[in-house]
Amino acid sequence: MALPEAPPDATLPRYDVPLRLRVAAIVLRSIFVCALLVITVRVSTPQNETIWTVFDSLGDAIRLVLGLVVCIWIIAHLFMLPKDAEGYRTWVYLGVALAPLALACAVAVW
């Protein structure tokens, strides 16, 4: 009679991410996502002077509702960090290129 085999280990391996890589990735990613949030807020505001005149035209109301949904989605993704070292490394590479561009766009749009 054969002994039963032990079940396979289903846990994911833990990857240690260096602190400098983690901090750089989080800072660059946060700058990019916050700039994207600012751009979305600015673009989704009504064309009229105040927020209370949003219902004067259907286009302003649709723009405001879509902007609100996108802002909620962006804020949710702000708190979702990468799962492994490769994700942090990717955000460092992308963040170096995209964070200044996103900041420039946010300043230009505002």
DSSP string for residues in 43-109: HHS-SSSSGGGGGGSHHHHHHHHHHHHHHHHHHHHHT---SSHHHHHHHHHHHHHHHHHHHHHHHHH
- Res. 88: pLDDT tops 80: yes
| pLDDT band at 1; cut points 50, 70, 90 | low
pTM of the model: 0.76
pLDDT at position 32 is 93
Q: What angle do CA 25, 110, 58 make, to 5 degrees?
A: 110
Please write the tens of the pLDDT for every residue from 32-56.
999 999 999 988 887 766 667 777 7
Written as six digits, the tokens of 99 are 């964070």
Length in residues, the chain: 110
**DSSP structural state of residue 79:** T
% of residues, the chain, pLDDT over 70:
85
Average pLDDT over residues 91-101: 92
- Res. 19: pLDDT tops 80: yes
The answer to whether residues 65 and 2 touch, using CB atoms and an 8 Å cutoff, is: no
CB burial of residue 78 (10 Å; 0-12, 13-18, 19+) = middle
Q: Could you tell me which residues come within 8 angstroms of residue 82 by beta carbon, excluding any fewer than 6 positions away?
A: 25, 88, 90, 91
Q: Please tell me which residue, 13 or 33, carries the higher pLDDT value.
A: 33
- Rg of the chain (C-alpha set): 21
Written as six digits, the tokens of 70 are 């996108």
pLDDT at position 31 is 94
